Amino acid sequence: MGSWAGAGGCLLLSVATSTLILLTRPPGSWGARIIGGHEVAPHSRPYMASLRFQGQHHCGGFLLRARWVVSAAHCIKDRDPLAGLVVLGAHDLRVAETTQQVFSIQDAFTHPDYQPSTHANDICLLKLNVSAALGGAVGLLKLPRRGARPPKAGAWCQVNGWGAVSDFQDLPPGLMEAKVRVLGSDTCNNSWSGRLRPAMLCARSGDSRRRGFCSADSGGPLVCGSRAHGLVSFSGLWCGDPKYPDVYTQVSAFVTWIWGVIQQ
């Protein structure tokens, strides 16, 4: 992800006239990281998944069931998802940790109403070729309950990812995390000049610091309490910029669709 970003590759720029200009960039092309965050204790977020293409970390996601990973639709836009790999049980992606489990993707399901131009319905499901072995380093993350409302404005949540730590795509020392605060939809939509669509959720730092997600953090979960309430979707040109709050797919709006696909 990154700026209006890893999001299917569109970079959103704000210029002096408040005009919005769209430029094309490859997904995840802006080297960046969880902004204003910290490295978590190894395997303390056992639900985290790394989606890889050609041996490189591309996006995040989370393990919902032993054979099912939830991620963002833009992560597999213009790519053959069956050519990707999913890595579970990782902390440091630079080494082959004994806790890591690597899977091929048997099938992928993008939401039928996904709209790359607006990022609406930016969610997908990845079915692994075999079931993951659950344990201390690999675990599940719950969805919101059916019919659940999104977290209230002001609620504190956390976002995780393995986004690179420099413009040279250097990987972080391990899984990173930032604590962010949910923003009211009206306030967020005003910041984005009315560009938000239904089923989007916003968050930003609770102070003046830059804090949030960036490029290769796409698809990772926004965890509020013990449930995944958001998926990293898009942000402004400068990652963690309070002027353009980070935007997530609101997972609670897709619970029925998710279970419908899994139970097919």
Catalytic residue positions, numbered: 74, 122, 218
Using an 8 Å Cβ cutoff, are 93 and 86 in contact?
A: no
Residue with tokens 């990987």: 171
| 3-state DSSP assignment of residue 101 | strand
- Beta-bridge partner residues of 126: 69, 108
Phi, psi of 188 (to 5 degrees): -65, -45
| 3-state DSSP assignment of residue 216 | helix
Residue with tokens 């399901």: 109
The amino acid occupying position 64 is L
The amino acid occupying position 264 is Q
- Beta-bridge partner residues of 159: 178, 222
